[in-house]
Chains A and B, each alone.
Chain A
Amino acid sequence: MPDADLDAVARRLAAASAAVHRCARRLEATAAATPWQGDAADAFRAALADDVARVRGCAGSLEDAAAAVHAHAATVAERREALRALRDAALAGTGSVLDDLAGLAGSGVAELVGRAVR
């Protein structure tokens, strides 16, 4: 599972990309709905087509950013999980040693006490 907070960031970026795509479609509709003819109209439509291409480029960049954040979230989650496992393992190992030590100590103490009693 990717990191929840980072994944939320990735989802926000993906939603922003969708919103920007919608903006591009609105720009295209605006160009198509203008019943204007002539050289100036052609220049206007060409400028608007450039805008649409740039806006779509932004949407693509946001998608890339969302993918990068998502990958980062997955890596972070993976590494956090590994660290957690390491800690758990370490904690589990430390516990048995202490138990052994305690057992050892317990048995030694009993032996010492027994010897002393005998």
Chain B
Amino acid sequence: MTADDVTGGVTGLEVELDALRAAAVALADVAAELVAVAAECGRGCLDDELADSALLDPVGAARAAASVAAALAGPRGLGAVAVEVEVHAARLALAVARYVVVERATATATALRREVQGHLLVAGAPALLGAGALWWAAADAAGADPVEELSEAVAAHPGLVDELVGSLPSALRTTAALVLGPLGLAVDGAVRARTGQTVLPRSLEQAAGAAGLLYAAGQPAVVRAGSLPADAPADVGDLIAGLTVADELVRAGGPSALVVATSVVRGRDGEPRTSHVVHLPGTHHWQVDPRDRAALDDLATNLELMAGEQSARVDSVRFALRAAGVDDGEPVMLVGHSQGGMVAVRAAAALGDEFRVTHVVTAGSPVSRMPLADGVSVLSLENRQDVVPRLDGGPNAPLADHVTVLFDAPAPTLAGEHELHAAYLPAAERLADSAHPALLAWDDGAQAFLLDDAERRAGTTATVTARVYRVTNADPP
């Protein structure tokens, strides 16, 4: 794993920029101190004493005066060196400022490009649809599976998804304006007054909120559905392995599920420590029909999470933690795949009033636009070929509290590239061999949840209770 595969964390750009700013300030302070020392010496050492004493020891006075002058005012003297350090401090501060300005300019240019692309998509929609239909027919006639062909094409160019998603608000706004015509603003005002949403979206969140207007909000019903055998996780690979078990539960049928694994770790002579890991599988019910919302791991939840609205699935995490008897001071880690990762990030912010969520792990989740809760350390795993983590239209910011691991796990289909067991589990298991400082620091921070081999050899034991909770919509439309 190369350094390029990991962003954020202790070696992330945000930390580096902060460190560089701090370095510039430190250099400026040193330069100021050197100037002050030079000035003090100039006042105190080049005074009349040497001149007066020259009568008695002219050669010695001349030698001393020359030494003092060289030390303070020579080309390699204190004054000159102070100026050099000051110049380096200024250059460093300038480099940081220039980087920030370029970043902002790039973001502005990207936003403008996507705005234009959105308009062009709408303008060219008839032609695009026509060309698409022709291509579909041609692929079909040639005996190829058009869906598979399309899947392969998107998998080969995952950046297209970033651009399409980024252009979506502009395209939706243009479409709404065309459809609604001059009445658009009035209609938008009425919808806003009634729902707080806009039908003329300017952001991805607003677009998701507008689409979410079709669906009724759910009400979670959380029911205990037995336990699973489990062991204390040693590393990120074990955490994702635990998530695959929860994922299999849902794949096997039935409603959405989440697993709360509570570890009580006892050292030989230490106090027992308790921690909780919540496993949150992804979307398993793609019902598009708004009249049928029995499950909460559905499309509507994706829209709610993207829009940043109240989500019944986030509430289900709260209810499950209460049911598992989690105390407010015990550390909680939320681990989620796809929608589960989005739920984890939103829940970490929403549950802070009742629980101590300290860590989040996401696998293949589009979370770059979601604000992170203070004090929560996030680790995101993203397959570069997987389009799902790109559905937020951009990469995760390299924040100090957000480490992102990017890896390659190509598969023949889009679904395969998003698959937890085939794509994400092997990547998570590889992390145990990584010596990247950001990952080592993340591991150190997550020690409350992990029990490594060295601890086991030292006699530390763990008792793990993995409670399964089934989650349904108690208030279907």
Contact = CB atoms under 8 A, between A and B. Distances in A.
A23 B53 contact: no
Interface stretch (B63-71, B281-289, B353-361, B374-382): B63-71
Given A51-B81, A51-B88, A61-B70, A37 B57 contact: no
Interface string B83-100: 011001000100000000
Contact-residue bracket for chain B: 35 or more
Interface stretch (B39-47, B247-255, B449-457): B39-47
Contacts of B154: none
Contact of A26 (B16, B20, B26, B44): B26
Nearest to B44: A12
Among A34, A75, A76, which residue has the most Cβ atoms of chain B within 10 A? A76
A22 B332 CA distance: 45
Contact of A12 (B19, B26, B41): B41
B3 interface: yes
B78 A35 contact: no
Interface stretch (A65-73, A89-97, A98-106): A65-73
A71 B60 contact: yes
A61 B33 CA distance: 17
A87 interface: no
A6 B50 contact: yes
Contacts of B70: 61, 65
B61 interface: yes
Provide the main secondary structure of the chain B interface: helix
B446 interface: no
Interface string A3-30: 1011001001100100110010011001
A113 interface: no
Contacts of B76: 54, 57-58, 61
A30 B30 CA distance: 10
B112 interface: no
Contact-residue bracket for chain A: 35 or more
B88 A76 contact: no
B57 A76 contact: yes
Contacts of A75: 56-57, 60
B37 interface: yes
B167 to A, nearest CB: 33
Interface in A21-71: 23, 26-27, 30-31, 33-37, 44, 47-48, 51, 54-55, 57-58, 61-62, 64-65, 67-69, 71
Contact of B63 (A3, A30, A51, A68): A68
B84 A54 contact: yes
B44 to A, nearest CB: 5
A14 B172 CA distance: 73
Given A19-B33, A72-B60, A9 B49 contact: yes
A62 B41 CA distance: 10
A16 B19 contact: no
B445 interface: no
A31 to B, nearest CB: 8
B411 interface: no
Contacts of B30: 23, 26-27, 30, 55
B34 interface: yes
B34 A6 contact: no
A20 to B, nearest CB: 6
A16 B27 contact: no
A37 B49 CA distance: 51
B459 interface: no
B85 A9 contact: no
Contact of B71 (A9, A61, A73): A61
16 contacts: A12-B44, A16-B37, A20-B78, A23-B33, A30-B26, A35-B437, A51-B81, A57-B81, A58-B34, A61-B71, A61-B76, A67-B67, A68-B64, A71-B60, A72-B60, A76-B53
8 interchain residue pairs of minimum CB distance: A61-B71, A72-B60, A65-B67, A68-B67, A68-B64, A75-B57, A72-B64, A30-B26
